[in-house]
Structure 1
Amino acid sequence: MWLRGLALAALAWAAGAEAAQHEGLESIRQRGYLRICADPSNLPYSSNDPAAPGFEVELARLIAAELGVTARLEWRATYVRAIKPLRDGACELFMGLPVDRRFREGNPWIAVSRPYYTMTHGLVTRADAGSLTIADLKGQRVAVELASIAEFYVAYRDVVRGLYKTQEQAFQAAARDEAVAAFLWFPLAAWLARGRADLKVVAVSDEGLAFPIGAGVRKRDPGLAEAIDAAVERVLASGQAQEVLARYGIESARRTSREPPCSPFVLVQEKDPRETGRALFSTACSRCHGAEGVGGGTGGALPKLRNYDGGYDKFYRLVWEGRKNTAMAAFKGILSPDEVRALYEYLTSLPRQ
């Protein structure tokens, strides 16, 4: 019996040693390629079309070349659980992740490189509209994606929100004059507006709208995080990264020297968390749950949230993770833990009905 146990232990050790050989910088160099998870249909970021691969794919290939290997694309749709393939080992590199404290805290297993560009937002308007800002559009309809950062931002400005399921639909609304402007991620806005002489895109880099973006790897892969970071530095120093970004119209989307580097995104800043929660609830929750949590919103026969008494831990999980097979979306990555707490403080401060 003890021989059988020894044999099983030896097999387990061998399996562990074999698995370890497939992780880390040295194993990547030995096999000669770096696996990169990317969406096959997500231009301008990534595409499986050789004629238009997307700037994230082009940058990933440059990074792989700096490591002395080729890039192998592992195509995965990213609209649901985008980084799960990286965590599960389907690839070693995932482009386009925020260099942000909140993201690091929510995903402690990921290491993100230095940023290779700053993701900002873009205001899409008619080419002859003159110089416009969000403040100039007071009382006018601005198209935004539902539950996006852009929607949260304009909610605190005196504009009329035109809500759409996707950013592409919001763009088309502005192009058809259903809205005076669309407010989108800058790379997508620039891509959709390419070749349109009747439209222009203005980069908006206000605090809370600009995010440094880097390349992500698993921390457990030996030597890889440092190598990827150094590769990004070299690609930037050579000017190759800037050339790629310029081909996709992103050269103007850079952080200005007046903005603090890598600052965390904060939706609202209030001293009283209940007041913060009230503002957040009005923006993010009232459409489905009704004003002040009394029900009667578009979510149908939902319980009155102002009567919630399930405790904070359960409330946090519901907001953070959502509920499968329901309209309750996950707000991880949209709200911070402090903002979820503010929502809870607000709702539990209301008198029950």
Structure 2
Amino acid sequence: MTMRPGHSGSLAILALAVSSALFVSATTAGADEVQPFRLCADPTNLPFSSDNPAQPGFYVEIGQALARALGQPIVYDWYKSYFGKRTVRVTLLGKQCDAMIGLPRSDDFMGPSVIFSSTFARQGYALVTAKDRAVNGIDDLRGKRVAVQFASTPQNLLAARDEIRKVTVLSPEEGMKALEEGTADVAFIWGPVAGWLNKTAYQDRYRIQLTEGEGLTWDAAIGFARTSTELRDRVDAVLPQLAPVIADLAAKYGLPGGQPVRFGAAHAALSGVTTGNGTAVAQVANVVATETKGDALPKNAEAVNSGKEIFNGTCAHCHGPDAVQSEKKIDLRLLRHRYGDDMHTTYLKTVHEGRPAKGMPSWKEVFTDDQLESVYAFLMTVQVESND
């Protein structure tokens, strides 16, 4: 074929025009694509959340309803909540997701880094009794055996009441078991888990009464990074219309409702807000004064306090708050008793490598060596020869 003068230039211009049109078309399609609503959630924390589509949990189903109302698809960023505030830092503040449902609506909780929606529910401790027994106040607990969670507001609240026998447990599950086995008359434990267990494991045989008072209840809200005010405002705009849905979901998952029982303030300092799989995604907890055991307070008290905070936010769900644990095999107060001069070496190897066969993950990619050494410094303060 004979090429006319200027023909190749015309083809080049035509090709450029076509490619520009395709680019504009692709760009417009990308701009019109609806972005997903990315939800942070714990994969194994019922009644709040689960990665099982057949039983997603209270918070996950609220997230699904929100996404529908916002006209967005939903995707999940699964992360264990027992890492405490680290969970929020890694997921929400790390921009891995857009929202985390169930955080306490309080400026004291990671503010101003985290901003909150309006309150969508009240969470707190509850009284669990036989169906025919109601509790109207603290005086109704006189002469009763009351199961209370270790280092919790109820334990502090009842501490000075000698006429009430306290049965200390480490979890809501243990509290319900004490009630079932007849070693407690009342369980004063974390309400959402108590309600869920009552519904799923105990065939709804118990009365669950929500309580209120300082350190007993808090406002549950949806948390966002501080840069997400536009999304927070859109969520706040649709939350009121979801109120009936949220109420139905609360009943579906057994969360306590009705008129709460009012208690006075607990005589203990509030420690702020913690998170943990053993109680809930977030709950208000109290500081319980404990007798110093093992070594005297070490020289670097700051490291010990830092280690204690990491331990209670990450390790306490298995090894007990402040390392107080009744099961010898996971009682970290017995490290020196077991390992003697090899205690430090064994500790570092275990936390670095984990024990996957026993359910303990490796922590070397989660915490720095300095942080792990601060945990060790804390554990040194609680060592005992034996817990017999």
TM-score bracket for the superposition, by shorter chain length = 0.5 to 0.7
Partners in 1 of 2:157 and 2:41 — Cα distance? 28
Q: In the alignment, residue 178 of structure 1 is paired with which amino acid?
A: T
User: Which residue of structure 2 aligns with residue 53 of structure 1?
Assistant: 56
Residue in structure 2 matched with residue 41 of structure 1 by the alignment: 44
Match of 1:213 in 2: 220
> 2: CA distance between counterparts of 1:302 and 1:230?
55
Alpha-carbon distance between aligned partners in 2 of 1:191 and 1:86, rounded to the nearest angstrom: 27
The answer for the alignment partner of 2:186 in structure 1 is 181
Whole-Å separation in 2 of the counterparts to 1:74 and 1:28: 24
Shift, 1:315, TM fit: 7.5
Match of 1:302 in 2: 295
Change beyond 3 A, Cα 1:156–1:232: farther
- Aligned-pair CA distance for 1:133: 4.0
Q: Which residue of 1 aligns with 2:177?
A: 172
Alignment partner of 2:108: what SS?
helix
CA distance in 2, matches of 1:318, 1:179: 34
The aligned amino acid for 2:102 is G
| Long gaps (5+) in structure 1 | 1-26, 260-264, 271-279, 290-294, 296-300, 331-353
In 1, the alpha carbon distance for the partners of 2:251 and 2:157 equals 27
CA contact (8 A) 1:60 1:95 kept: yes
Q: Cα 1:156–1:48, aligned 2, differ >3 Å: closer, same or farther?
A: farther
Letter in 1 for 2:221: G
| 1:149-160 pair list within 5 angstroms | 149-158=153-162, 159-160=164-165
Relative to structure 1, the CA distance from residue 249 to residue 31 in structure 2 (aligned partners, 3 Å threshold; closer, same or farther) is same
User: Contact 2:124–2:211 (CA<8 Å) still a contact in 1?
Assistant: yes
CA pair 211-325 structure 1, distance change in 2 beyond 3 A: closer
Q: CA deviation at 1:310?
A: 6.1
Structure 2: state its 5+ residue gaps. Answer: 1-29, 270-285, 323-388
Identical positions, percent: 26
The one-letter amino acid of 1:128's match is D
Q: 1:69 to 1:208 in 2, by over 3 A?
A: same
Instruction: Give the 5 Å matches for 1:313-328.
Output: 317=306, 320-321=309-310
Match of 1:90 in 2: 96
2: CA distance between counterparts of 1:241 and 1:64? 14
Once the two structures are TM-superposed, the CA of residue 154 in structure 1 deviates from its matched residue by 2.8
Contact 2:116 2:224 in 1 (8 A): yes
Cα deviation, residue 321, structure 1: 4.8
The alignment of Structure 1 onto Structure 2 pairs a total of residues equal to: 269
Counterpart in the other structure of 1:147: 151
Cα distance in 2, alignment partners of residues 233 and 254 from structure 1 = 21
- Secondary structure of 1:74's counterpart equals strand
Corresponding residue SS for 1:120: strand
CA contact (8 A) 1:118 1:253 kept: no
What is the TM-score with the length of structure 1 in the denominator? 0.65
AA matched with 1:160? R
- Pick from 112, 115, 118: which aligns with 1:114? 118
Query: Within 1, Cα distance between the matches of 2:133 and 2:124?
Result: 21
For 1:187 and 1:52, the matched residues in 2 are separated by: 16
Structure 1: how far apart are the matches of 2:114 and 2:204? 42
Distance 1:233 1:37 in 2: 22
Give the alignment's Cα RMSD to 1 decimal: 3.6
| Counterpart in the other structure of 1:231 | 238
Given candidates 54, 67, 79, the residue that maps to 1:64 is 67
After superposition, give the CA deviation of every residue in 1:99-140 in whole Å (9 maximum; x if it has no partner): 12322xx44211111110111321111223354644322343
Q: Which residue of 2 aligns with 1:127?
A: 131
CA distance in 1, matches of 2:129, 2:102: 26
Deviations 1:6-34 (A, max 9, x none): xxxxxxxxxxxxxxxxxxxxx99944311
SS of structure 2 residue aligned to 1:52: coil
